[in-house]
Amino acid sequence: MAKKALGKTARMPSVKRALTKARQGKAAQVKAPPKRAKKRDLADAKAEAGVTPPMSAAQIEEAFRRFQAAEPEPKTELKYVNPFTLLVAVVLSAQATDAGVNKATPALFAMADTPEKMAALGEDRIRDLVKTIGLFRTKAKNVAALAHILVEQHGGQVPRSREALGALPGVGRKTANVVLNTAFGEETFAVDTHIFRVGNRTGMATGKNPLEVEAKLEKVVPGPYRRHAHHWLILHGRYTCVARKPLCERCIIADLCQWPGKTVL
């Protein structure tokens, strides 16, 4: 998540330029801001309930064309050096920021960048090294346990299978999808809070829970964009379509977005 990352991804430096190009002089018409946050929350709730009109296939294709123009090779912001350290970084990033994880992991990975070394390091030492990250006790326990399992059951390799990854301690569907996508180039959609929000708001992939949104993305994301769709949507949700006050005025897909709560026409 290079500027490395995938639970969370690298900032789009060229977004402004791409935005300008995408819009080609068509300045967004700004709507009057909602009087209360309640209106936005209500619009989000409606979106999650599937009330937001769906984006058409052509609109979805155009949205990804613009995302790609803005950032052709999106990356995760998490620091890692191989599939194993990516797996550990993603496990550590649950309910924590990438920046916070990145502060702790260089020292950890300098001592243990393979399952064998991590297993040898042991839970207590791992805990000391990640104690600045939220839920560090549980996470240290999971990292130590998953390292042992990788050594004992997978020959010290990170498995390239959602099922095998999901069987590891601290690894859920989202983490498995991140690893499959970022480490192995699989066309998976790891639906985190950002993708959930963007999918629902825009009408690209609505759903009451991450699994529903993931299933819709599987259906609607066009072939050429499937590999990086996950990162583009995370970036969009993290830096533009933010939860509290979406930056609709600088959104490169504002004219395609179906969300009634957007602040531009």
Q: Which residues bind ligand SF4 (CB under 6 A)?
A: 201-202, 240-241, 246-248, 251, 253-254, 257, 259, 262
Nearest to 48 by CA among 219, 259, 245: 259
Least Å from the CB of residue 241 to ligand SF4: 3
The residue (of 182 and 202) whose beta carbon lies closer to ligand SF4 is: 202
Least Å from the CB of residue 183 to ligand SF4: 29
Nearest to 63 by CA among 256, 259, 261: 256
The residue (of 188 and 200) whose beta carbon lies closer to ligand SF4 is: 200
The catalytic position among 4, 8, 174, 262 is 174
The residue (of 165 and 251) whose beta carbon lies closer to ligand SF4 is: 251
**9: phi then psi, degrees, rounded to nearest 5:** -120, 170
Q: Which amino acid is at 197?
A: R
The catalytic position among 192, 208, 216, 255 is 192
Q: What does the alpha-carbon distance between residue 126 and residue 5 come to, in Å, rounded to a whole number?
A: 21
Catalytic residue list contains 174: yes
Q: What does the alpha-carbon distance between residue 250 and residue 248 come to, in Å, rounded to a whole number?
A: 5
Least Å from the CB of residue 174 to ligand SF4: 21
Q: Is 173 helix (H, G, I), strand (E, B) or coil?
A: helix
Catalytic residue list contains 192: yes
DSSP designation for 33? P
Q: What does the alpha-carbon distance between residue 136 and residue 130 come to, in Å, rounded to a whole number?
A: 6
Least Å from the CB of residue 135 to ligand SF4: 30
Residues tagged active-site:
174, 192
